Structure 1
Amino acid sequence: MRVLISGGGIAGPALAFWLHRTGADVTVVERSAAPRPGGHAVDVRGVARDVVEWMGLREAIRDHQVDERGWKLVNARGKKLAAMSADVFGGEGIVAEIEIARGDLARILHDATAGDVDWRFGDRITALTPEGEVTFASGGRERFDIVVGADGVRSGVRALAFGPHEQFVRPLGGRGAYFTVPDPGDLDNWFEMYNAPGGLVAGIRPERGGTAKASLSFRSDEPWARQDKAGQMRILRDRFAGVGWRVPGFLDAMPLAEDFYFDEITQVHVEKWHRGRVVLIGDAGYCGSPLAGLGTSMSLVGAYVLAGELAAARTPEKAFAAYQKQMAAYVADGTQLPPGGMKAFAPNGRLMIRMRAVSMTMMGVWPMKQMLAKQFGKADAITLEPYPKIRSARAPRTAPTL
């Protein structure tokens, strides 16, 4: 079976890892020239921790995870208003037990598949037929038995096989940016967040190697329009002009950041994740947004389930249907936003900001604690099949090093 996976982030190489165990001939096409470094911190939660354990990669992930002790909400003077340590709720709180830079996790997954999978960097799919005929930007044309869209929120595969982005991408009323800044030296391994009037949110979280990741988010219902990097930075400078706390330093460091990223905050909802020989996985098929916080775990779990069903079923069509049936409730829970959504995350007025801070101080008290336990428990809300054809196909490989 020839399988083409579009996307070399998290879901794509995780699926390639498991599919190789079935004996499939797997190709991963990625438009970037190499695995993308950096990126924001992502977490491995709930049953996804079992998946990386079965892959033999848990120690590699632990070796490169961020030492992040918890989350704090602070005021303009940096005084703590509320906090949640990383060890509460079984390591499944706002900051999870396992936090790792997205680029480090992508590199680990790439290295775990590099010797077994045909990786094609600097290319992408430009045309796709229902029969699996694929045309690449480089000019080549090949036929595959299965084509997988693992290429993110604005999936090119989804656009070619399912329809335009507007049918599946739902704006949540916000914009968000993140970029690397020097470690200020006083974070003490805590993720700090600050709310300012006007629906503005700023944050900073520690990284490995003497840097930190800054984030700037704001409420907006304006239609999304892509701009160049200079235009994006201008929007952020205008929105956050005069905001205190650490924000002036963020704005000064922003033009120097090589990993600057700015985008609309959205969800992806696709009613049926497969069409003909094409199937979607991860953010391409089901993205809950950073507010929901289970994107990486759903990608890892989805890769395991899809590969397992392909190994067990007689036809890809039956495997795709079984994959969606197995994942449907887990994805529905994982894409559900916390109460209040973007409005609760980024309150407009000072009164609402104070109310948010007060509610956060109640996180460890009933009934707030019970509500949060339900929210954070979503990461375990699926029972994974053993799939012996992929679990016992070969012993786990030696954990790669970065």
Structure 2
Amino acid sequence: MALDTARKAERALRNELGDPSLTFVRPSYLVGPEGLLAGEKLHLDIRRMEVAQLDLNRREYELTKHISLLQADPWALVALRATGRCTFTVPEELLDLDTPGHYFRRIRSVSLSVPCVTGPYTGVACTVRLLRSRVRTSPLPKDGEYAPVADGEDRFENQLGATEAVVTSSGNNDSGLFDPGAGDGRLLPFEYRGVVSEWQLELPDGPRPFDYDTITDIVLHVRYTARDGGQALRDRAGAHLRDLLAEGTAAGSVRLLSVRHEFPTAWARFVGSKAGNGSSERQPRAELKLPLRAEHYPFFAGTGPAGLTNVVLVARSAGAEQQLLLADRAWDRENPNDEADKKTRAVKLTGRPDLNGLLRGALRDDPAIPGKRAWGDLPEPTGSFSLYSEKNTIKDLFVLLTWSAKDPAL
């Protein structure tokens, strides 16, 4: 029993210090005539372990990161509102926006905030589950590459944690614990797991205790420790982040706009106008004109996005429609001077069962509609962007803008 307890303490020390090479307890203490001194030998190794814990347990950087789902992964926020469940990732570049060059980022504690509108004495019971995580254990790049290039690299430690979960009660910086600072000797939920991680959020799937459409954001408060990897790692992290922003694939490269809430004047004009079928100038479609501005994008976009790489439209229909057509002009007309401009550009939004009936369409990816042409060129990231609809009974329209930065402010 003493030997088994010592080995457990050794494993706990390795996990606490993040060094799997530490070895103190021998495989056996009963070999040879010295077996009579097994107790003294084990006691000596335990004392060596205590000294190593005092010598090696140096203080690391202690930081707090507030991760907004609206900024990091807005599509996951749309899915949570619609279905009550979503999965999202915390990528390394999201942390590099604040502290490039850090490595060995490990969680100390996690809490969750759910800004929403609930009734009196109504709780926000959200299950927060860690699916997997990763820790960068070495500050040295491999072949000049910052990101992982293959599975099983010794620069990273991959961890699976699908069994770790907490349930919140209030949705206000809630860690799922009665007293997070009790200090009862047990590890906190998710402690020593990697901050670079994948999470699942789940709200009650039965009768909804409150309107999930009132959820404006999800904020994951992560308190973690990290080490300084030096100037070389800092330079690699900055270059990698600039590449992702230039490609439009970084966390934060997608901006979610709720037209109803962020453009209330344009929305009221759209809902109050008469919608025709667009067959002639006398039957124009209802216009929804969105004035896109630089403040709609994050500050690190620098002088402004270089362009949009995709525009995804998600609509919540007021009726039972399973399709919605959005065009680029008020009515169909032939342009004899421009062969390519003869047909109206349009995108078809179709119902998605995985989004609880929300209608979705993409300007870049969706094919052409019979009688119309594909959208083709995307709008400019700033300026006027108009959509025309034959139905103005939509409850809300979400516009997801994927942008790329030419000169990010890093």
Higher relative contact order structure (alpha carbons within 8 Å, sequence separation ≥ 6) = 1
Task: Judging by fraction of residues, say which structure has more helix.
Answer: 1
Larger Rg: 2
Q: Which TM-score bucket, shorter chain as reference?
A: under 0.3
Task: Judging by fraction of residues, say which structure has more strand.
Answer: 2
Q: TM-score, normalised by structure 1?
A: 0.26
Q: TM-score, normalised by structure 2?
A: 0.26
